[in-house]
Amino acid sequence: MSAHRVVPTVKFCLICKKEFECGGRGRRSLNAEYCSKTCSAMGRMRQPTILHLRIEDVAYMAGLFDGEGSVTTYDRGFGGRVQLRCSIVNTHLPILDWLLVTTGTGTLVKHKVYSDKHKECKTWQCYGQNAKNLLEQMLPYLIIERDRAIAAIASQEVVQC
Protein backbone atom coordinates (compact mmCIF):
# COMPACT_ATOMS: atom_id res chain seq x y z
CA MET A 1 0.00 0.00 0.00
CA SER A 2 1.51 3.33 -1.06
CA ALA A 3 0.96 6.45 0.98
CA HIS A 4 -0.30 9.63 -0.63
CA ARG A 5 2.49 12.16 -0.43
CA VAL A 6 1.75 15.86 -0.20
CA VAL A 7 4.44 18.09 -1.58
CA PRO A 8 5.00 21.09 0.69
CA THR A 9 4.45 24.52 -0.81
CA VAL A 10 6.00 27.82 0.22
CA LYS A 11 3.77 30.77 1.15
CA PHE A 12 4.26 34.21 2.68
CA CYS A 13 2.54 35.19 5.93
CA LEU A 14 -0.04 37.96 5.52
CA ILE A 15 1.06 39.69 8.73
CA CYS A 16 4.85 39.39 9.09
CA LYS A 17 5.60 38.58 5.40
CA LYS A 18 7.82 35.69 6.56
CA GLU A 19 8.18 32.67 4.27
CA PHE A 20 6.75 29.38 5.61
CA GLU A 21 6.05 25.87 4.33
CA CYS A 22 2.61 24.33 4.40
CA GLY A 23 1.31 20.90 3.45
CA GLY A 24 2.75 17.52 4.34
CA ARG A 25 3.47 15.88 7.68
CA GLY A 26 4.15 18.15 10.63
CA ARG A 27 3.41 21.38 8.76
CA ARG A 28 0.52 23.81 8.61
CA SER A 29 -2.39 22.93 6.30
CA LEU A 30 -2.29 23.81 2.60
CA ASN A 31 -4.86 26.59 3.03
CA ALA A 32 -2.95 28.31 5.87
CA GLU A 33 -2.57 32.07 5.50
CA TYR A 34 -0.40 32.77 8.56
CA CYS A 35 2.94 31.33 9.70
CA SER A 36 2.02 31.02 13.40
CA LYS A 37 -0.78 31.29 15.94
CA THR A 38 0.46 34.76 16.87
CA CYS A 39 0.17 36.04 13.30
CA SER A 40 -3.23 34.37 13.00
CA ALA A 41 -4.42 36.25 16.10
CA MET A 42 -3.03 39.50 14.69
CA GLY A 43 -4.98 38.86 11.47
CA ARG A 44 -8.22 38.57 13.43
CA MET A 45 -7.56 41.61 15.62
CA ARG A 46 -9.61 44.69 14.81
CA GLN A 47 -8.10 48.11 15.22
CA PRO A 48 -10.34 50.84 16.65
CA THR A 49 -9.56 53.34 13.89
CA ILE A 50 -8.84 53.02 10.21
CA LEU A 51 -5.31 53.86 9.11
CA HIS A 52 -4.61 57.07 7.22
CA LEU A 53 -4.20 55.89 3.64
CA ARG A 54 -1.98 57.04 0.78
CA ILE A 55 -3.73 58.79 -2.14
CA GLU A 56 -2.86 55.92 -4.51
CA ASP A 57 -4.36 53.35 -2.14
CA VAL A 58 -7.54 55.37 -1.62
CA ALA A 59 -8.02 55.85 -5.37
CA TYR A 60 -7.53 52.12 -6.01
CA MET A 61 -9.97 51.25 -3.19
CA ALA A 62 -12.52 53.66 -4.66
CA GLY A 63 -12.26 51.86 -8.00
CA LEU A 64 -12.72 48.49 -6.30
CA PHE A 65 -15.60 49.90 -4.30
CA ASP A 66 -17.35 51.32 -7.38
CA GLY A 67 -17.08 47.97 -9.16
CA GLU A 68 -17.49 45.36 -6.42
CA GLY A 69 -18.51 47.21 -3.26
CA SER A 70 -21.66 48.20 -1.48
CA VAL A 71 -22.77 50.64 1.21
CA THR A 72 -25.50 49.44 3.53
CA THR A 73 -27.29 51.20 6.35
CA TYR A 74 -29.70 49.29 8.53
CA ASP A 75 -31.61 49.76 11.74
CA ARG A 76 -29.96 48.12 14.75
CA GLY A 77 -33.27 47.76 16.53
CA PHE A 78 -34.26 49.69 19.63
CA GLY A 79 -33.69 53.42 19.74
CA GLY A 80 -33.44 53.98 15.97
CA ARG A 81 -29.67 53.52 15.92
CA VAL A 82 -28.45 53.19 12.33
CA GLN A 83 -25.49 50.92 11.54
CA LEU A 84 -23.27 51.54 8.50
CA ARG A 85 -21.49 48.71 6.68
CA CYS A 86 -19.09 48.88 3.73
CA SER A 87 -18.26 45.64 1.95
CA ILE A 88 -16.38 44.40 -1.11
CA VAL A 89 -16.98 40.90 -2.49
CA ASN A 90 -14.43 39.25 -4.75
CA THR A 91 -13.07 35.88 -5.84
CA HIS A 92 -9.51 37.22 -6.21
CA LEU A 93 -8.52 36.71 -2.58
CA PRO A 94 -5.17 38.61 -2.59
CA ILE A 95 -7.09 41.85 -3.22
CA LEU A 96 -9.19 41.30 -0.11
CA ASP A 97 -6.09 40.44 1.92
CA TRP A 98 -4.50 43.65 0.65
CA LEU A 99 -7.58 45.61 1.78
CA LEU A 100 -7.39 44.07 5.23
CA VAL A 101 -3.69 44.89 5.65
CA THR A 102 -3.80 48.35 4.04
CA THR A 103 -6.82 49.68 5.93
CA GLY A 104 -5.86 47.99 9.19
CA THR A 105 -9.49 47.16 9.91
CA GLY A 106 -12.35 45.00 8.77
CA THR A 107 -13.07 41.30 8.61
CA LEU A 108 -13.01 38.67 5.90
CA VAL A 109 -16.06 36.43 5.62
CA LYS A 110 -15.70 33.21 3.66
CA HIS A 111 -18.67 32.09 1.56
CA LYS A 112 -19.64 28.45 1.20
CA VAL A 113 -18.82 26.90 -2.18
CA TYR A 114 -21.79 24.81 -3.34
CA SER A 115 -20.30 23.39 -6.53
CA ASP A 116 -16.92 22.52 -8.01
CA LYS A 117 -17.77 24.94 -10.83
CA HIS A 118 -17.70 27.89 -8.45
CA LYS A 119 -14.60 29.70 -7.23
CA GLU A 120 -13.89 30.47 -3.59
CA CYS A 121 -15.33 33.86 -2.63
CA LYS A 122 -14.82 36.15 0.36
CA THR A 123 -16.25 39.44 1.55
CA TRP A 124 -14.21 42.19 3.20
CA GLN A 125 -16.40 44.34 5.42
CA CYS A 126 -16.08 47.10 7.99
CA TYR A 127 -18.69 48.76 10.17
CA GLY A 128 -19.60 51.97 11.94
CA GLN A 129 -17.02 54.69 12.42
CA ASN A 130 -14.37 52.83 10.42
CA ALA A 131 -16.75 52.55 7.46
CA LYS A 132 -17.57 56.27 7.74
CA ASN A 133 -13.87 57.23 7.84
CA LEU A 134 -13.12 55.03 4.83
CA LEU A 135 -15.99 56.55 2.84
CA GLU A 136 -14.82 60.07 3.72
CA GLN A 137 -11.32 59.26 2.44
CA MET A 138 -12.66 57.64 -0.77
CA LEU A 139 -15.34 60.28 -1.50
CA PRO A 140 -13.28 62.44 -3.93
CA TYR A 141 -12.57 59.34 -6.07
CA LEU A 142 -15.96 57.61 -6.01
CA ILE A 143 -18.17 57.84 -9.11
CA ILE A 144 -20.92 55.20 -9.05
CA GLU A 145 -21.34 54.82 -5.29
CA ARG A 146 -20.83 58.53 -4.55
CA ASP A 147 -24.47 59.41 -3.80
CA ARG A 148 -24.94 56.40 -1.53
CA ALA A 149 -21.67 57.20 0.27
CA ILE A 150 -22.76 60.80 0.92
CA ALA A 151 -26.13 59.61 2.26
CA ALA A 152 -24.43 57.00 4.49
CA ILE A 153 -21.99 59.54 5.92
CA ALA A 154 -24.89 61.92 6.62
CA SER A 155 -26.85 59.16 8.39
CA GLN A 156 -23.90 58.48 10.70
CA GLU A 157 -23.45 62.18 11.52
CA VAL A 158 -27.12 62.50 12.51
CA VAL A 159 -26.82 59.56 14.90
CA GLN A 160 -23.69 60.93 16.59
CA CYS A 161 -25.12 64.43 17.32
pLDDT digits (tens, 9 = 90+) for 97-115: 999 989 888 899 988 888 8
Residues 120 and 79 in one domain: yes
Residues 31 and 66 in one domain: no
pTM of the model: 0.65
Binning pLDDT at 50, 70 and 90, where does residue 79 land? low
The secondary structure of the chain, three-state, reads CCCCCCCCEEEECCCCCCEEEECCCCCECCCCCCCCHHHHHHHHCCCCCCCCCCHHHHHHHHHHHHHHEEEEEEECCHHHCEEEEEEEEECCHHHHHHHHHHHCCCEEEECCCCCCCCCCCEEEEEEHHHHHHHHHHHHHHCCCCHHHHHHHHHHHHHHHC
Residues 97 and 77 in one domain: yes
Q: Is residue 50 part of a domain?
A: no
Residues 118 and 154 in one domain: yes
Predicted confidence at residue 2, as pLDDT, reads: 56
Better pLDDT: 79 or 119? 119
Residue 59 has pLDDT above 90, yes or no: yes
